[in-house]
A = this chain, B = another copy of it.
């Protein structure tokens, strides 16, 4: 028997080697041809949980990528904490902008570069390692534990809403802790108050039955790219406000206190722009940059394509054009209603001479929020204050973790965020990396958090 501290120290080299092994698996959930790699990552997680001393480990099928379950339930009268994370990753294109191949993890100083390093493989491996240190080092954990690791977070967890009700007993718990999150900086901790929801759709505009000669037919028929740009142009006003009727209907404006709390979080607008390589910010009038990113809904075009895209010239009048759009939502916007509003707007703004098809994307998440006074957040705040020497900021995220809404609706449990990514780590972009200092720190932090939650859970 050893303290979790010394256990963690003694096995750190192995943990890093395991992280690198985990990062080699190209588990891109968005690409159908990578489905086996996602499954392989799930198997890796299951084996890693078992090796950590976790029991009843199972890879559970869904209608899409699998969910990995495991538990350790030997702490009578203690709360049951479910640790959440995801083993799928984002696509890697444009792959030519990566300094090193995205699935060949590369150590540079105290960082590991790879797709998924921060989001979320590094972050989700930390609590597994922490639990191993508790179970193998100290012989027990201070709480009952369940694990829920999914393989479809990056595509919006489309099959989790159907999956979870079938397993509600298995996943029953007192609190979910999401390892898919971050801290403000290496020295400043946070509590996460809200996440945006998400929904999306694809627009397909079809014209003639084949591509045509722009000299012979130009000017005589509708051009699908013209039509698409006209539709897309109508979705947003030039000043950045979304022009879809009803879009803002269910948005709950922040109170002045809440706006003040947002304003308390440091933000260097010049540095933000400099880091992105931009000259100026842009967004909805009447809101700060932080508010635009955290508590205002968005409509962003993720991709567009049609016609001739290679080097050179082809004087073609193309027969189709396409775009993918996703919206980030805030309380109390309903993703299904937003999709319906967008579809209606697009139908009303479809120009003559083409057919316009709207297909919802399989990404759907409700906005999520939680109070700073929640017992889980109070425990997290205590640990973070001890480790960082300061109170956490109360921040919000512009991102979406749809499963938090599913946990609340279908398991009746709240989720706190307890992850150690930092915003500069290029999630969803080329050259994603994770700080190894964060990897080590999060292992200790999880041991402390579980102890704190065990001690402070409200009586049932």
Please give the distance in Å from A160's CB to the nearest CB on chain B. 15
Partner of A232, one of B31, B226, B281: B226
Please give the distance in Å from A262's CB to the nearest CB on chain B. 13
Is A324 located at the chain interface by the 8 A CB criterion? yes
Kindly specify which of A121-129, A424-432, A451-459 makes contact with the partner chain. A424-432
**Cβ contacts under 8 Å, A344 to chain B:** none
Q: Is the CB of B307 within 8 A of A306?
A: no
Q: Is the CB of A32 within 8 A of B312?
A: yes
Most buried by B among A200, A238, A308: A308
Is A216 located at the chain interface by the 8 A CB criterion? yes
Partner of A303, one of B90, B278, B318, B427: B318
Size bracket, chain A contacts: 35 or more
Name the residue on B nearest A431 (C-beta): B210
Is A14 located at the chain interface by the 8 A CB criterion? no
**Cβ contacts under 8 Å, A200 to chain B:** 313, 315
A316-344 near B? 1/0 per residue, CB < 8 Å: 11100111101010000000000000000
**CA distance in complex: A311, B214 (Å):** 28
**CA distance in complex: A222, B432 (Å):** 22
Q: Tell me whether A316 and B303 are in contact in the complex, defined as CB-CB below 8 angstroms, given that A215-B399, A219-B328, A353-B281 are known contacts.
A: yes
**CA distance in complex: A207, B273 (Å):** 11
Copies of this protein in the complex: 2
Q: Tell me whether A90 and B314 are in contact in the complex, defined as CB-CB below 8 angstroms, given that A278-B353, A309-B303 are known contacts.
A: yes
Is A363 located at the chain interface by the 8 A CB criterion? yes
Is A362 located at the chain interface by the 8 A CB criterion? yes
Is A196 located at the chain interface by the 8 A CB criterion? yes
Is A437 located at the chain interface by the 8 A CB criterion? no
Is A161 located at the chain interface by the 8 A CB criterion? no
Is A398 located at the chain interface by the 8 A CB criterion? yes
**Cβ contacts under 8 Å, A398 to chain B:** 215-220
Q: Tell me whether A305 and B305 are in contact in the complex, defined as CB-CB below 8 angstroms, given that A155-B313, A200-B313, A221-B283 are known contacts.
A: yes
Kindly specify which of A74-82, A133-141, A294-302 makes contact with the partner chain. A294-302
**CA distance in complex: A196, B154 (Å):** 50
**CA distance in complex: A404, B279 (Å):** 46
Name the residue on B nearest A311 (C-beta): B32
Is A400 located at the chain interface by the 8 A CB criterion? yes
Is A12 located at the chain interface by the 8 A CB criterion? no
Is A392 located at the chain interface by the 8 A CB criterion? no
Q: Is the CB of B282 within 8 A of A221?
A: yes
Please give the distance in Å from A244's CB to the nearest CB on chain B. 14
**Cβ contacts under 8 Å, A279 to chain B:** 353, 355
Name the residue on B nearest A207 (C-beta): B278
Q: Tell me whether A213 and B427 are in contact in the complex, defined as CB-CB below 8 angstroms, given that A298-B218, A307-B303 are known contacts.
A: yes
User: 17 pairs across A/B with beta carbons < 8 Å?
Assistant: A198-B215, A198-B315, A210-B430, A214-B298, A214-B326, A214-B328, A216-B397, A219-B284, A219-B293, A222-B280, A222-B282, A279-B353, A302-B314, A303-B309, A303-B314, A304-B304, A309-B322
User: Which A-B residue pairs are the 7 nearest by beta carbons?
Assistant: A209-B277, A215-B399, A233-B233, A282-B353, A303-B307, A30-B312, A225-B301
